[in-house]
Amino acid sequence: DTEVTQTPKHLVMGMTNKKSLKCEQHMGHRAMYWYKQKAKKPPELMFVYSYEKLSINESVPSRFSPECPNSSLLNLHLHALQPEDSALYLCASSQDSLNTEAFFGQGTRLTVV
Amino acid sequence: GENVEQHPSTLSVQEGDSAVIKCTYSDSASNYFPWYKQELGKGPQLIIDIRSNVGEKKDQRIAVTLNKTAKHFSLHITETQPEDSAVYFCAAPANQAGTALIFGKGTTLSVSS
């Protein structure tokens, strides 16, 4: 099973809302990632968690707040987003963070209005 | 950090033809090179990868070749089918610590029947 599950699949939120994206994997992977993908662009790294600790934050604005409650779950809390934050948010996991296969979820299509 | 260039940006072939997508990377220490296929509305799917200790890897109709000296790697799809139509991304480790991936800009492959 190489499945990474993301919920919700679609999300529309206002600029004053607070929402959360969720990601779950049961492959025993110890590294989890958030990527952002704009239309017709490659995925861009936002955050890396390794063994439930935040190891990389690619200078992401504080309106995006990641959380890793346990080794199977990854959340992305959203607050006071801008319309330009509308994108496909992808979660991925890998066995660890050192050059191993990364498996992606289907993504959450976020629209900020 | 690593930089990955991918060509061509679009590729149109007839069903049954072969398709080749090429990527170059900048960091000679990089040692892991995956290829992802992304269909419309879905997350990237790992289709094949190669490590720097081998020069070629095959899986049915797809193959990847690696030239470490020239720092480039290529995806080869033989006997293309309409269902191969998608965006293909090459990737490499973002840095020498191997944490997370940096992606090429993608190639939109269209296979017409």
| Three-state DSSP state, B56 | strand
The pLDDT score that the predictor gives to residue B67 is: 95
> What are the chain A neighbours of B43 within 8 Å (beta carbons)?
4, 6, 90, 104-107
Residue A27 has pLDDT above 70, yes or no: yes
CA nearest neighbour of A52 among A34, A73, A27:
A73
Q: What are phi and psi of B42, to 5 degrees?
A: -125, 165
Query: Is A102 in Cβ contact with B34 (below 8 Å)?
Result: yes
Query: Is B99 in Cβ contact with A56 (below 8 Å)?
Result: yes
> What are the chain A neighbours of B104 within 8 Å (beta carbons)?
42
Q: Using 50, 70 and 90 to split pLDDT, how confident is the model at A97?
A: confident
Q: Which residue among B46, B94, B104 places its CB closest to the CB of A45?
A: B94
CA distances from A101 to A15, A96, B30, B33, B108 (A): 36, 9, 14, 10, 23
Residue A99 has pLDDT above 90, yes or no: no
Number of H helices, E strands in chain B: 0, 11
Q: What is the pLDDT of residues A48-86, one digit of tens each?
A: 999 999 998 989 999 999 999 999 999 999 999 999 999
> What are the chain B neighbours of A2 within 8 Å (beta carbons)?
46
Q: What is the pLDDT of residues B1-48, one digit of tens each?
A: 789 999 999 999 999 999 999 999 999 889 999 999 999 999 999 999
Residue B97 has pLDDT above 70, yes or no: no
The pLDDT score that the predictor gives to residue A66 is: 98
Other Cβ atoms within 10 Å of A2 Cβ, number:
12
Query: Is B100 in Cβ contact with A56 (below 8 Å)?
Result: yes
| Helix, strand, coil abundance in chain B, percent, nearest 5 | 5, 55, 40
Q: What is the pLDDT of residues B56-90, one digit of tens each?
A: 999 999 999 999 999 999 999 999 999 999 999 99
Query: Is A45 in Cβ contact with B100 (below 8 Å)?
Result: yes
CA nearest neighbour of A87 among A10, A4, A5:
A10
Interface probe for A, chosen from B101, B105, B107 (most Cβ of A below 10 Å), is: B101
Chain A residues 67-86 with a CB less than 8 Å from chain B: none
The pLDDT score that the predictor gives to residue B94 is: 85
Other Cβ atoms within 10 Å of B37 Cβ, number:
20
The pLDDT score that the predictor gives to residue B35 is: 98
> What are the chain A neighbours of B49 within 8 Å (beta carbons)?
101
Query: Is A55 in Cβ contact with B99 (below 8 Å)?
Result: yes
